[in-house]
Structure 1
Amino acid sequence: MAVEIIMPKMGMGMEEGTVVEWLKQKGDSVKKGESVVSISSDKIEKELEAPEEGVLIEIEADVDDIVPIGKPLGYIGSPGESINEPGEPTSLIQPTQEDSDVPTVEINQATAIASEEEPRLRVSPAARRLSKIMKVNLSTVTGSGPLGRITKADVEHAANTQKVEPENKTIEIEEKPSATPPSIGGTTKRVTGMRKVISERMFQSLQQTAQLTLQTTADVTELLAFQKKAREAYQINDEVRLTITDFIAKAAINALLDHKEMNSLYQGDSITTFDSVHLGVAIALPEGLVVPVIQDADRKSLSAISREIRKASKLARASEMNQLQLNGSTFTITSLGTYGIGFFTPVLNPPEVGILGVGTISEQPVYFGDELKKRSMLPLSLTFDHRAIDGAPAASFLAAIKANLEKPFKLVL
């Protein structure tokens, strides 16, 4: 009997997922536990494994299709095995003599008449969207998918082959050879999965908020010396490293407790300010950016924060984060310091009203009175939503982060 490959629920708020890529094709043999299809929801991508050994006998959802949780993506069964059409009871497909009473016969006859007069089109969501864009009449398209389902490829083929009927006029047009554009090398790739989610959210962020960025530099010469002594005194292990990012996170958390207006969410026509800090820490992955959340970060020590950031980084790079670990942040920090970038303009992570951008530390000459000294300077860029925060309180908050970093003993008190 065929076994369904189900769209799983990967988080509390998840209602649907997107098919990113089929790793196996119809007719391919699969082993139990072997990856069959890649799906995504929000910023999580996950490969689904085969629940049983067999053959992928049907694919119900094409790439880019959006599927509700609990619905089948495909079926695994024995070679040559067929399945009933999803959503239709077996009794209607193969009625038995005992079950065929009068009401059932009438329903089946009505269904048959309706099918003859107006056949129901089986169309994938992606194909339906594309047909609207390309102005293709789906009733004229022949489906090549399972059970005659119309796919995106069918719509594209129909769009390329359909002809425009000429008007009832005879117009002589002199044909001229069309210029052939030069061949340009390149690769075209569809925007899907995590990259698609990020692109949509960043665009919405800039469209729906009033973003302004303030910049300053913090003298972290003492912080670097303090970090060195702390790492020498603290028993370093694989979970705690006491990196500069850990200190910056603690500095931002302490500043948020004194400037609670920055620890807020702007949603609809209301601003919610939080007593606890739920800190998002952006982590760059090859396929995009994820923001794990340190819940109740204001109640954690510097070493605990370091441990959680390191753990989140490992999980993110192993694609083992779940939706719960990526939700609920009230403020975010993001860094481009490892790439040699100084100041930049970080983009808000709505509905948060603030995000701190961290640049790379550089050695610069700084005057102390009449004396010029070499100091380690850290660029900081604060983007905030001007709808919720004015410039003065935002500047005061950024100054508090700077003060915390320049007096590192404050971070461990």
Structure 2
Amino acid sequence: MAVEVLLPKIGLTMQEGTIDEWLVPTGAAVAEGDALLRLATDKVDVDVEAEAGGLFHPVAPAGATLPAGALIGWLLAEGEQPPETAGAPTPTGSGAGAGTAAGPALDGGAAGTGATPDLNGDGAPVAPSAHGTGGRLLSSPNARRVALAADVDLTAVRGTGPGGRIVSEDVEEFLAAVPDGKAAPVPQGGTPTSPLVRKLAKERDIDLSEVNGTGPGGRIRRSDLDAVISAPARRNTAAPRAGDVLPLTGMRGTIARRMHASLQEMAQLTHGYEVRMDAVVSLRDRLKDEWADSELPVPGLNDFLLKAAALALREHPLLNATVREDGVHLLDGIHLGFAVAVPGGLMVPVIEDAVALPLPDIARRSKALAEAAREGRISPAQLEGATFTVTSLGGYGVDFFTPVINPGNVAILGVGRLRDGVEWMDDRPLRTRVLTLSLTFDHRAVDGAPAAEYLRTVGELLSKPLRLLV
């Protein structure tokens, strides 16, 4: 019996997705849990697994952008023909017929849904190991693909994912620890890497011979590639060139549509406000010394700003709201989104219940979420539910800018660079440390005076940062 393959809905806000790549050829036999396609959404790129077994027959081309729930293929029995339908789904974007560049796919999926690849060539999955429950090996599609390319027996790999699920990082760690060259192949030039790292390097146009490996024996890890991407020199060389055409598909297309809709649907104004950071800088220097031998993470300047922004929202709930047809709804929870630059766009991970978290916990969560976003490991659930957003361009030397509100929120706080300022004490100049905050707010929900009061509260909290630690 033919089984429909539908474009899945990844996360609550996903409306459409792009088939970035079909991972199996037409007519191939797949088992339940095998990776069928790489799907690019507005927030993440993810491998989609088969929900049943059968012979795969796609009805949509790679590069097509389609609504969630659209029919994109069939899983058929031997000799079965695909049912007659109204035809292939109509793409909603401009990317049909051409693949789009995408970052690394996630090792996603619920624990217990993975199946081992067909290593015997007979269309049947390899016998499972004791790693899983119910006779199934718990492993992600990426982990199985990397293991297959490197000739690694997944039964020997320790899983660190949910429920003991094996993810690609586990296979990479296993390869790094195996001494023989069979399990850890070395590419031309003698640079030890895993197949996944070599694949990502090719996608990102990175010369592995120029990458400094931080793994055992100089082995190059995925984090080493991310460090190359984030370096200023690399950002410059990877910049688009004259004559390039950048398709508005996937993450880039969704960002374009949402930001355009945001400006059309809201009455957005921006306040600029200079705040003193002397006390924060001084406290952070003290924490570096006092926490040097502890497990507590030393908060960065942005972590202090995240905590101050959350506490100020508690005093000014008009900024923690959403506009609906029947009015302005003030929200109960304060869930703080913060913008993270990733190849091809931005992601906004969310720190839930930020007011209730001590500053070290905010620092720990912000770091983990940012790393997961940059490495392509973040889940859709971690990108949902922000009630207010903080975004920073201080690292790029920007003082003041006009951030655009994320749809569903009524405000967004921009953070500029830390710089020297001057305060006059009588006739004597005094050097200070300052930065400029840029608050964009929806004038339908918030007037200028309440927005200014919010900024003043943030400034007061930063002037006495010990209150931010708890």
Contact 2:66 2:89 in 1 (8 A): no
Pick from 423, 427, 435 the counterpart of residue 378 of structure 1: 435
**TM-superposed deviation, 1:268:** 2.1
Q: Which digits, 9 at most, give the CA deviation of each residue in 1:240-262, with x for residues without a partner?
A: 33111110011111111111111
Report what 1:283 is aligned to.
Answer: 340
**TM-superposed deviation, 1:188:** 2.0
Q: Residues 279 and 121 from structure 1, CA distance in 2 versus in 1: closer, same or farther, beyond 3 angstroms?
A: closer
Report what 2:7 is aligned to.
Answer: 7
Aligned partner of 1:84: which letter? Q
Aligned-partner Cα distance in 1 for 2:93–2:436 = 49
Report what 1:255 is aligned to.
Answer: 312
Aligned-partner Cα distance in 1 for 2:308–2:326 = 30
Q: Residues 381 and 238 from structure 1, CA distance in 2 versus in 1: closer, same or farther, beyond 3 angstroms?
A: farther
Contact 1:30 1:50 in 2 (8 A): no
**TM-superposed deviation, 1:231:** 2.7
Indicate whether 1:202 and 2:259 are aligned: yes
- Percent sequence identity is 35
**TM-superposed deviation, 1:275:** 3.7
Aligned partner of 1:44: which letter? V
Contact 2:335 2:388 in 1 (8 A): yes
Report what 2:280 is aligned to.
Answer: 223
Pick from 334, 353, 377 the counterpart of residue 320 of structure 1: 377
Indicate whether 1:58 and 2:57 are aligned: yes
Contact 1:19 1:37 in 2 (8 A): no
Contact 1:239 1:311 in 2 (8 A): no
Contact 1:19 1:39 in 2 (8 A): yes
Q: Residues 282 and 236 from structure 1, CA distance in 2 versus in 1: closer, same or farther, beyond 3 angstroms?
A: farther
Q: Residues 332 and 13 from structure 1, CA distance in 2 versus in 1: closer, same or farther, beyond 3 angstroms?
A: closer
Aligned-partner Cα distance in 1 for 2:361–2:21 = 40
SS at match of 1:22: strand
Q: Residues 333 and 212 from structure 1, CA distance in 2 versus in 1: closer, same or farther, beyond 3 angstroms?
A: same
**TM-superposed deviation, 1:284:** 1.2
Pick from 91, 105, 126 the counterpart of residue 126 of structure 1: 91
Matches within 5 A, 1:74-85: 74=73, 83-85=80-82
**TM-superposed deviation, 1:374:** 1.8
Report what 1:44 is aligned to.
Answer: 44
Report what 1:350 is aligned to.
Answer: 407
Pick from 294, 297, 306 the counterpart of residue 354 of structure 2: 297
**TM-superposed deviation, 1:20:** 3.4
Say what the alpha-carbon RMSD is for the aligned residues: 3.3
Q: Residues 19 and 369 from structure 1, CA distance in 2 versus in 1: closer, same or farther, beyond 3 angstroms?
A: same
**TM-superposed deviation, 1:22:** 1.8
Aligned partner of 1:11: which letter? G
Aligned partner of 2:261: which letter? Q
Aligned-partner Cα distance in 2 for 1:85–1:128 = 26
Contact 2:60 2:88 in 1 (8 A): no
Contact 1:64 1:192 in 2 (8 A): no
Q: Which digits, 9 at most, give the CA deviation of each residue in 1:216-259, with x for residues without a partner?
A: 11111221110111232225788833111110011111111111
Aligned partner of 2:312: which letter? A
Aligned-partner Cα distance in 1 for 2:375–2:12 = 21
**TM-superposed deviation, 1:210:** 0.4
Report what 1:368 is aligned to.
Answer: 425
Q: Which digits, 9 at most, give the CA deviation of each residue in 1:164-221, with x for residues without a partner?
A: xxxxxxxxxxxxxxxxxxxx96222321111111111000000000000000111112
Aligned-partner Cα distance in 2 for 1:358–1:45 = 28
Contact 2:12 2:384 in 1 (8 A): no
Aligned partner of 1:122: which letter? G
Q: Which runs of 4+ in 1 moved over 4 A?
A: 1-6, 23-36, 49-54, 75-78, 127-130, 235-239
Choose 1 or 2 for highest CA Rg.
1
Which segment is superposed worse, 237-246 or 250-259?
237-246
Aligned-partner Cα distance in 1 for 2:242–2:79 = 44
Contact 1:240 1:310 in 2 (8 A): no
Aligned-partner Cα distance in 1 for 2:332–2:92 = 47
Which segment is superposed worse, 227-236 or 189-198?
227-236
Aligned-partner Cα distance in 1 for 2:34–2:81 = 25
Report what 1:22 is aligned to.
Answer: 21
Matches within 5 A, 1:64-75: 64-69=64-69, 73-74=72-73
Aligned-partner Cα distance in 1 for 2:86–2:5 = 24
Aligned partner of 1:378: which letter? L
Q: Which digits, 9 at most, give the CA deviation of each residue in 1:270-320, with x for residues without a partner?
A: 111124311111111112111111111111111111121112112212323
Pick from 232, 243, 248 the counterpart of residue 300 of structure 2: 243
**TM-superposed deviation, 1:363:** 1.6
Q: Which digits, 9 at most, give the CA deviation of each residue in 1:119-150, with x for residues without a partner?
A: x86243128999xxxxxxxxxxxxxxxxxxxx
**TM-superposed deviation, 1:60:** 1.6
Aligned partner of 1:10: which letter? I
**TM-superposed deviation, 1:341:** 0.8
**TM-superposed deviation, 1:364:** 2.7
Aligned-partner Cα distance in 2 for 1:199–1:284 = 15
Report what 2:114 is aligned to.
Answer: none
**TM-superposed deviation, 1:29:** 6.8
Aligned length: 324
Q: TM-score, normalised by structure 1?
A: 0.69
Contact 1:239 1:306 in 2 (8 A): no
Q: Residues 327 and 221 from structure 1, CA distance in 2 versus in 1: closer, same or farther, beyond 3 angstroms?
A: same
Instruction: Name structure 1 gaps, 5 residues minimum.
Output: 89-119, 131-183
Aligned-partner Cα distance in 1 for 2:277–2:271 = 19
Aligned-partner Cα distance in 2 for 1:125–1:331 = 35
